[in-house]
Structure 1
Amino acid sequence: MELQTILNNVDYKILQGDVHVTIESVAYHSGLIQQDSLFICLEGTKRDGHDYIAQAVMKGAVAIIIQKQVGLEFVPKDMTVIQVENTRNVLPVIASQFYSHPSQSFRLVGVTGTSGKTSVSHLISSILQHSGRKVGTVGTLGDRINNTEMNAYRTTPTTPETVDLQASFAAMRDQSVTDVIMEVSSLGLKNKRVLECQFDVGIFTNLSEDHLEDQGAFDDYKESKLSLFPMCPYSILNADDPYISEFIAATNGCYETYGINNKEADLVATHIKDNENGVTFQLTHKEFQNEVYVPIKGAFTVSNTLAAISCSLHLGLEIDDIVEALKHVRRPDGRLQTIHSPEGFTVMVDHANTPEKLEKVLLNLSPIKKGNVFVVFGCGGERDRGKRAVMGEIASRWSDYVIITSDNPRSEDPSRIVAEVEEGMKAPGDYEIIEDREEAIHRALRMAEPRDIILIAGRGNEDFQEVDGSKVVFNDFDVVEKFMNQHTSPIKEG
């Protein structure tokens, strides 16, 4: 695409070169620059893209966009240099234009809130897929089309940087996706990553002061969340939240509310029954009443399900079809399934069971690390023994403390497995061995302090542990949830 076309709707000044050059890719990070790239210099909190202009030249970029005065003596005279007032503000416009405005090709739902984003997104996606739609999801669990993970580049854990986001949207459009559900973080909103997204629905789950490390003042955090709703022609809001009136005021006037405690909401859940198989409740709406069953335990499931029902109705599904679909919902697949403790630490359950997967997960945690990172993991029995020490070394290198435990030992001696993992550990004082997996998880939960992250890796959403030829009921997420319910106030998941 020609640079002049990409710069439509952008105020800019040409410092040298011209805009009649062909752009093959847009890069905002020096590591992404390719031949014939457009390199956009962003000022970050730790790095300044203007310091990487020389790299851009060497790697073959044909045009550079800057926002401040820099020396251009090492830039070839025929290379195009454009100046704008603020590169971060124009990045969404450029990215959307380069990928031909992909969010116009499907229905886009944005989900924001302190917790519940992942769960609500998963529930909506499951309902829509059950109805036969092709659904894209963007968020903590990665970028997916239906249940297939996309090979998408990411530098942020929840809402991708705007160029990466538009690239994923374009891939979804090219595969005829009908609906996309996206988790929208406060930082994603604050940093304008979703500025050029054409939303159809915005969902608000809840708001608390649990995660202010990156934004500081609560009012700034709240304002970031509120900024989603003027972009949405239709909004779905949690009437139980104390800030509901402010979110209603932020909408365009077209909205629906849901709640458990607020009986004035448009969708209300009553007669809630939580048992070992899931949760049931009575759904009341001005147009119908239904009994709803969801095979996912936890009181938080009810509120999240109400949001998902409201959204699915707005997207054209019938209530009977939605209720039937909910009976078949499964918990997310265990990829960075996140639980936020009231004490201020975070637990993530992930299926990472190979060196490559474990290292990728730990590297993805680096940008959001505020305290210590704990890893609880083991290796399966009767499988590749060569990876055990390698995974021990990776866990030791990229975390602050490791608890080596059992995974699925099968008929192999658990002691031998953990001993082989231990061979890869680099720092003797920074790990311990607890063969019993439940005890190991409990140990990490007791050790964690505010701002820490606990990664429980290897099993994801597996519901059984294979021990000595038998299958024993065991789910990492359930162990964490049970512990927190017994030792702390109710948890939030999402």
Structure 2
Amino acid sequence: MKKLTDFLNMLAESELRAGDNSDSADFDIPIKDITYNSLEAGEGTLFICKGAGFKEEYLKDALAKGAAAFVCEMGSKVHEACKADAELAAVPYIVVNNMRRAISKISAFFFDRSWDKMKLIGVTGTKGKSTTTSMIKAILDIHCGREIGFSSGIYTYDGCHKEKAYKLTTPETIELHRILDNCVKNGCEYLAMEVSSQALKYDRTLDLNYEACAFTNISRDHISDAEHKDMEDYFTSKLKIFTQSRIGCVNLDMDPVYMERTLAFAEQNCEKTVTFGMEKVGDRKPDVYGISVDEKQGWLLLKAELFGKTEEFTVNIGGAYNAYNALAAIAVTASLGVPTEIIREGLETVKVMGRMETYRLKDSVDVIVDYAHNKMSYQVLFDYVKKQYPDRKVGFVFGCVGGKAFNRRKEAGEIAEKYADFVVITELDPGMEDINKICGEILSYIDHKEKAEIITDRDTAVYTALKKAEGMENCVLVLAGGSDAYMKRGNKVYPSDTDGERVQKFLKKIGK
């Protein structure tokens, strides 16, 4: 078992140590666990004081529960308190100069970087992360003859336990490292994970190395004071994944403004670069080249050329745009040496919760649940509905998050005005912002107010829209929530049904 002095030396070697009280406190103590949650602290815990909202009472609570030592950041309130509080100053502590990097190093050290024994697959991009990662998992499950590890905004799986994701696309550092460590202990050979721009920017994935990664696409999103200050910050944060990957897979069809830089950065940093897409770029054809897509209700027939050989794939998810996600999954798994037959079988059977989930109320009423939550994803979904359900009225149930991504409110309202026949605006993680204010802003961008209503309770909103749809030929889109099984209200996260579960409850109620 590692001792506190081992952590001190490791942080010094990483040039993160900014101070400590090892001259007066006992550092020859075993560290049994690490946490930044005072509720999880216990005997022998190394407690990490992190976050802008951290309060000194959290540290005192952790110490009362048996925490052996703590880590704080230089200049923080806790650091200043150590100078004035003799009782606190008597507890062994380490001061660091960069808390985010220190957390990653401390956690990696505690878990002995056990995940280096496993092959990690990372997927980043503005949209398509969950679907692409799920496709990769479906293929590798068959290839390995068992479920691989998985971490996404839908759920996590550590080789033994599966849990719905309740907060982040990419878990916080210690939680993520614990999942990876459990995967190794449970015999997983691979883990496929979504890698968000925030995780890359704030070093939650700093100590991970990916066998392969995919960069699906990029468009304007997540730009706010709470996320990325501008598009350049967002883009360069995502590029960091290539510095940690052996194989980099790049979509040649992404926005040309960013494609050349993405490809050049991947080629500069990765041992091998694989391209995918549906279009040639000048004389360059993608290594995994989508020749054609035959779009059906609920599935796709994709013809693609893999490194010069033409193959056909049935993809068990609707929406022509999902052909790009399939090409990304093919590029990743083919580059890992997975046989084409196994790739084909994985795509034929893949299911993605909260992504293009389709339910039938009756012959003339279909409901589609999807995570689409920005202009790009709304547009492609409405295009899909227009093509597959040309004579149907379209209902639209959605909301926009509070405190960030404010541009989505205008975009969603304008999409609703242009394409939807009836609209129900509802909650979606309002957080500290007034839900009625958010919904009112969205409504202000809908000119035909008579076709829209605000129902802030999401359960009631979905039920109302489905009840209304029963009386007409209709396709109802329940969007933006997807597989989310929680709602952020105020500063708390509350468990909730997923949108799919809401629809299923309605079907059960009407005897379907």
Q: Which residue of 2 aligns with 1:135?
A: 148
- Give the partner amino acid of 1:205: T
Give secondary structure in 2 for the equivalent of 1:234.
strand
In 2, Cα distance between equivalents of 1:196 and 1:238:
25
Whether the aligned pair in 2 keeps the contact of 1:333 and 1:461 (CA below 8 Å) is no
1:18 to 1:316, Cα distance in 2 relative to 1, 3 A: farther
CA shift, 1:257, in A, is 0.4
Q: 1:200 to 1:460 in 2, by over 3 A?
A: farther
Q: 1:438 to 1:121 in 2, by over 3 A?
A: farther
Please state if 1:40 is matched with 2:69: no
Q: Aligned residue for 2:185? A: 174
* Alignment CA distance shift 1:250-1:239 (3 Å): same
Q: 1:19 to 1:188 in 2, by over 3 A?
A: same
* Structure 2 equivalent of residue 63 of structure 1: 69
Q: Secondary structure at the match of 2:321?
A: helix
Q: Letter of the aligned partner of 2:262 in structure 1? A: F
Residue among 311, 314, 320 paired with 2:332? 311
Structure 1 residue aligned with 2:352, among 303, 309, 331?
Answer: 331
**Alignment partner of 2:261 out of 246, 252, 260:** 246
SS in 2 for 1:193: coil
Q: Distance in 1 between matches of 2:175 and 2:121?
A: 18
Paired residue for 1:255, among 247, 265, 273? 273
2:320 to 284, 299, 317: 299
Aligned match for 1:31, one of 34, 39, 47 = 39
Q: Distance in 2 between matches of 1:399 and 1:458?
A: 26
Conserved in 2, the CA contact under 8 Å of 1:30 and 1:56?
A: yes
CA displacement, residues 415-470 of structure 1 (integer Å, 9 cap, x when unaligned): xxxxxxxxxxxx99x97795551647959879xxxxx999863527969934655x
Aligned mates of 2:251, 2:504 — CA distance in 1: 31
Whole-Å separation in 2 of the counterparts to 1:464 and 1:267: 42
Instruction: Specify the SS of the correspondent of 1:200.
Output: strand
Among candidates 88, 105, 109, match of residue 97 of structure 1: 109
Which residue is 1:289 aligned to?
310
Q: How far did 1:49 drift? A: 5.4
Query: Which whole-Å CA distance do the structure 2 matches of 1:234 and 1:434 have between them?
Result: 46
Moved over 4 A (4+): 145-148, 333-337, 343-346, 365-373, 430-436, 440-446, 452-456, 460-464, 466-469
State whether residues 42 and 87 of structure 1, in contact with CA within 8 Å, keep that contact through their aligned partners in structure 2: yes
Count residues in correspondence. 399
Amino acid aligned to 1:227:
K
Does the Cα contact within 8 Å between 1:129 and 1:146 map onto a contact in 2? no
**Aligned match for 2:60, one of 54, 62, 66:** 54
For 1:111-260, what aligned pairs fall within 5 Å after superposition? 111-131=123-143, 132-145=145-158, 149-150=162-163, 156-213=167-224, 214-241=227-254, 242=256, 243-251=258-266, 252-253=269-270, 254-260=272-278
Deviation at 1:171, TM superposition (A): 1.1
Task: Output the amino acid matched with 2:40.
Answer: L
Q: 1:218 to 1:433 in 2, by over 3 A?
A: closer
1:353 is aligned to none
SS in 2 for 1:202: strand
Q: Residue 326 of structure 1: CA displacement?
A: 1.6
User: What is the CA-CA distance between 1:194 and the residue it aligns to?
Assistant: 0.3
Stretch of structure 1 that moved more, 437-446 or 301-310? 437-446
Letter in 2 for 1:25: D
In the TM superposition, what is the alpha-carbon distance from 1:56 to its structure 2 partner?
Answer: 3.0
Amino acid corresponding to residue 192 of structure 1 in structure 2? D
Name structure 1 gaps, 5 residues minimum. 347-364, 374-394, 402-426, 447-451, 472-494
Q: Distance in 2 between matches of 1:113 and 1:332?
A: 19
- Aligned with 1:9: secondary structure? helix
The answer (yes or no) to whether the contact 2:213–2:247 under 8 Å persists in 1 is yes
Superposed displacement of residue 42, structure 1: 1.8
In 1, distance between residues paired with 2:221 and 2:317?
A: 24
AA aligned opposite 1:104: D
* Matching residue's letter, 1:178: E
State how far apart, in whole Å, the 1-side matches of 2:127 and 2:377 are: 13
Give the Å deviation of 1:325: 2.5
Alignment partners' CA distance in 1, 2:505 and 2:249? 33
The 5 Å alignment of 1:421-460 reads 435=464, 437=466, 439=468, 457=499, 459=501
Shift of residue 162 of structure 1? 0.6
Q: Report deviation, 1:170.
A: 1.0
* Residue 465 in structure 1 maps to residue 507 in structure 2: yes
Structure 2 counterpart of 1:75:
87
Equivalent in the alignment of 2:118: 106
Instruction: State TM-score, norm by structure 2.
Output: 0.68
1:168 Cα offset (Å): 0.8
Amino acid at match of 1:160: P
Give the Å deviation of 1:74: 4.9
C-alpha distance in 1 between matches for 2:502 and 2:9:
45
Residue 275 (1) aligns with residue 306 (2)? no
When structure 1 is superposed on structure 2, of 432-441 and 160-169 the one drifting more is: 432-441
- What is the distance in 1 between the residues matched to 2:403 and 2:107? 23
**Structure 2 Cα separation of the partners of residues 370 and 227 of structure 1:** 26
Instruction: Determine the C-alpha separation between the residues in 1 that align with 2:291 and 2:340.
Output: 17
Distance change >3 Å, CA 460–CA 293, structure 1 → 2: farther
Q: Give the deviation of 1:333 after TM superposition.
A: 6.2
Shift of 1:3: 1.8
Contact 2:49 2:70 in 1 (8 A): yes
1:122 and 1:177 mapped to 2: Cα distance? 16
Determine if contact 2:298/2:319 at 8 Å carries over to the other structure.
no
> How many Å separate the matches in 2 of 1:206 and 1:4?
44
When residues 439 and 17 of structure 1 are mapped into structure 2, their CA distance, relative to the original with a 3 A threshold, is: farther
242-251 or 229-238, which moves further after superposition? 242-251
Name the Cα RMSD after superposition.
Answer: 4.0
Per-residue deviation, 1:299 = 1.3
Once structures 1 and 2 are overlaid, which stretch shifts more, 178-187 or 130-139?
A: 130-139
2:253–2:259: 8 Å Cα contact kept in structure 1?
yes
Identity over aligned pairs, percent: 25
The separation in 1 between residues aligned to 2:64 and 2:337, in whole angstroms, is: 52
**Distance in 1 of aligned mates of 2:66 and 2:378:** 44
The one-letter code of the counterpart of 1:32 is E
Q: Which residue, out of 271, 287, 295, partners 1:266?
A: 287
Question: Contact (CA 8 Å) 1:3, 1:21: kept in 2 or not?
Answer: yes
